[in-house]
Chain A
Amino acid sequence: MAKDIAKDMTSRTTIRPHEYHDSVRLMQVSEQLRKLDAVDEAILMMATDNNKKLLAAAGFAGKEIADAARDDLVIGIVAGNETIADAALAKALELLRSQARRLQAGEHRSLETAMAALQGANLALISVPGEYAAEETQKALENGLHVMLFSDNVPIGEEARLKQLADTRGLLLMGPDCGTAIINGCGLGFANAVGRGAVGIVGASGTGIQEISVQLHRRGIGVSHAIGTGGRDLKSAIGGRSMLRGIDMLAADAATEVLVLTSKPPDEDVAERVLDKAAGCGKPVVVSFLGAGVEPGASAGLVAADTLSGAALEAAKLLRREQDDDAGPSRSDDELRRLAEREARLLSPTQSCLRGLYTGGTLCHEAMLVLRDYVGPVYSNVALEPDYRLPDPSQRRANTLIDMGDDRFTQGRAHPMIDPEQRNRRLENEADDPGVAVVLLDLVLGYGSHEDPAATLAESVRAAKARAADAGRHLAVIASVCGTERDPQDLARQENLLTDTGVLLAASNAEAGRLAGLVVATAAGRQTRRS
């Protein structure tokens, strides 16, 4: 629905023909403009069909926008008066120009000239809009480059074709929709700065790789390489081509002593092929197919783990650095129970459910699995059970976890790990629901993520807690931070920003899920005893 522009405001739309900027850059410029005095709204978007809908919803419509081509830039500004709108537009153009000038020196017009300038180039990192991604990937593979393909919205048939091409050329194609990789200690896409070491990871999930590498790092164990495959690699239509190749590469890699494989449940035929390959690779392998058990018979020599932090623990044990009962950085069950009791005592009788707002898709998936043991199935846009699926992710019901990185939220705008605004706004709204006892959150640091995510999140947590307090309620907020002290955002500062607002920090995402589940279950138990 179109938003009405207030009568005392000025709305200004400008089209810049054939002027392309990437979505992250445009988001950053929008963010800076919105901070200006008396600028109510600022949107910079390429005029794709989907973005035109978003522009219309924000109150920017008309023939000019309808006629714009998808390589035209649209700048929409709502400001207090004409002068301020003009100034904001001038500022937008200046910010875009200064960025273009900064980049001009080091940029190349084509893959060929870029390769000529970088002798020995061995990998292409591709993050163009999905509709152009297959063409760029094919070009890179044909030029002998391994590829990490970050883009999503690539048809699965194209993925199968490109992975076959990569195979015939002996190249690795990570993706499409591959968020994370660490090669030779270098983080690609969204990746944490972790120590180098003996554990090699192959993962069909970006935040899954991030959480495992961070949990290993916190145990003092490093990562040799982390190879991403893209979320659909373990579907029958793809056949696990990237994961199979990744296992071969790590099996032959001298630095890798233990392998960890992670994915959401694979299709059955692919799981069998991957487990066969893993069992025969000559090195110990931990398998964490979140939500799918690993049959002991079919997988001799493999170790299964239910959670991402559990996978890190099993890998640590295989390296013989830790004993069976070594909890590492995690809290004991007793500690968690005591903490949950304390929180539950602060809640009022109406408060009985939890809301999770996640930036990491696999972290959301893992939390739902953990919560099932405490509160049963959870409603979600990415629910584990079909009956609990929310077709409209803006909905909420009883216990709900939302993956804010869902396509519905990211079309035309940057991922919530880069652009936290949508989640922050929703968090504040959850506080108004008298039934909500607990809000559960993730915060993902590392290369690629927002430069200071805890600062904006802490502001929203403070606002949410204040809104609940105004209505006479305590709101429990539980979070885990996926990050290390080497990440660019400064882990200690990020954690302090959250704990200063009363957020309970867990040592891992799985622990955050357990704690949230215990608080809600304890609160429900107290209510039962009262009634």
Chain B
Amino acid sequence: MNEPKQALLSADLKVINIGLELFADSLAAQAVDVVRVDWKPPLELEPELERILDDLL
């Protein structure tokens, strides 16, 4: 195990929010630096299309 990093506890918190907007809003309300990733689930490929892509790549 590496030495535990102290950076998290001794530095200002800077957060990347991936998911519920509610949590990013709460951090912003506490004046925490936060940026949001516009997360969306990956597109569902039809199995056939997936097979064709696999063949091509």
- Which residues of chain A have a CB within 8 Å of any CB of chain B? 18, 20, 22-25, 46, 69-71, 99, 103, 106-111, 114-115, 117-118, 120-129, 132, 136, 140, 145-146, 150-151, 167-172, 183-184, 186-189, 225, 245, 248-250, 252-253, 418, 447-448, 488
Contact = CB atoms under 8 A, between A and B. Distances in A.
A109 B2 contact: no
Nearest to A20: B40
B49 interface: no
A132 B48 CA distance: 22
Given A183-B9, A225-B9, A245-B4, A127 B19 contact: yes
Contacts of A71: 40-44
Given A108-B36, A129-B41, A249-B9, A170 B16 contact: no
B3 to A, nearest CB: 7
A448 B30 CA distance: 12
Contacts of A170: 2-5
A252 B3 CA distance: 11
Interface string B1-39: 111111111111111111111111011011011111111
B39 A128 contact: yes
A98 B14 CA distance: 27
Nearest to A418: B22
Interface of B: 1-24, 26-27, 29-30, 32-44
Contacts of A151: 19
Contact of B6 (A22, A111, A253, A448): A253
A184 B32 CA distance: 10
A123 B32 CA distance: 12
B55 to A, nearest CB: 23
Given A168-B2, A172-B8, A114 B21 contact: no
Contacts of B40: 20, 71
Given A114-B36, A183-B13, A248-B4, A126 B19 contact: yes
Contacts of A70: 41, 44
A448 B8 contact: no
A183 B7 CA distance: 11
Contacts of B7: 122
B53 to A, nearest CB: 17
Q: Which of A70, A122, A146, A225 has the most CB of B within 10 A?
A: A122
Contacts of A184: 9, 11-13
User: Residue among B2, B14, B41 with the most chain A CB within 10 A?
Assistant: B41
A114 B16 contact: yes
A171 B30 CA distance: 24
A20 B9 contact: no
A125 B18 contact: yes
22 contacts: A20-B39, A22-B22, A70-B44, A71-B40, A106-B36, A111-B18, A118-B34, A124-B16, A125-B23, A127-B18, A127-B19, A128-B18, A128-B39, A129-B41, A170-B5, A183-B8, A183-B9, A189-B23, A249-B8, A250-B9, A252-B4, A252-B6
Contacts of A249: 4-6, 8-9
